[in-house]
Structure 1
């Protein structure tokens, strides 16, 4: 057999089978092309999580309305800090008031729910418009915040707090 048909290593075999360069050769200038993920109504869906809260988020082009559990975001998240938190992905991506957001949130408190909505909006935006991924990734909105409440241990009042000591 000739040298073309017999591979000397697994990398050569992979090159022969797939027609791609071997693992040792650098692929410079080759970027991963992501396709937009949209449903029949032109929406993108994503799930966001923070602490114990889980948000299911749908994003579609519109006037910038944000609806959380059937209520306007201004009414659901009364604190301005929480409203600011959920609009951050749009401000960073320069898409403020260009998308309508519908989401349902369960679990956790209001702060965790706002973080879950922000995470979901960021992921849904990258599914709708894949070009926004580097901007949102650099801002840290695509990373799920892993911090959760520590579990209670036996022999303790809470996770780490001891029971009150009584001398007598």
Structure 2
């Protein structure tokens, strides 16, 4: 077969447009559950990593073996963790067991929220558009800026002395 050089797109003709030969059925994601009926996901925020398992239940949330209100004493952090259930209208329908390590409480709460959101999409794939729209499936990549040499902090200069 001889090679041909094209000078314009008109020479392609109908070859460039790929016509579908058969109607493709919409592909639906299958739930990912283990033998105990749980779904697992990992959530991350700042330096924190949360391993989250969800299963149908009464809404109990356990973090590192402690109740939610014991581990996260601040109401704002508890509210942050409950957001995926409220947005998807699944409040009180799932038990959550998670282990969190690294970072501080705020980063850990964000990691748990991210993990719960991802685990919900594994358990019920049809919840993905709802959680994606409000941004719970996107990992928040903001982190502390590193300290630079010749600086007091990341950007702050040392105090200037005139004399």
TM-score of the aligned structures, taking structure 2 as reference length: 0.86
Number of residue pairs the alignment of both structures matches: 149
CA 154–57 in structure 1, closer or farther in 2 if over 3 Å, else same = same
Q: Distance in 1 between matches of 2:23 and 2:65?
A: 48
RMSD: 2.1
Aligned to 1:95: 90
2:121 maps to 1:116: no
Q: Distance in 2 between matches of 1:29 and 1:83?
A: 44
Q: How far off its partner does 1:31 sit?
A: 3.1
Aligned to 2:34: 39
Aligned to 2:58: 63
Which string of whole-angstrom CA distances, capped at 9 and with x for unpartnered residues, describes residues 4-47 of structure 1?
A: xxxxx9xx8xxxxxxxxx97347988533101000111100000
Aligned to 1:24: 18
In the TM superposition, structure 1's runs of 4+ consecutive aligned residues that sit over 4 Å from their partners are 26-30
TM-score of the aligned structures, taking structure 1 as reference length: 0.83
Q: How far off its partner does 1:112 sit?
A: 0.5
1:83 counterpart (75, 78, 81): 78
2:130 counterpart (104, 111, 135): 135
| Consecutive unaligned residues in structure 1, runs of 5 or more | 1-8, 13-21
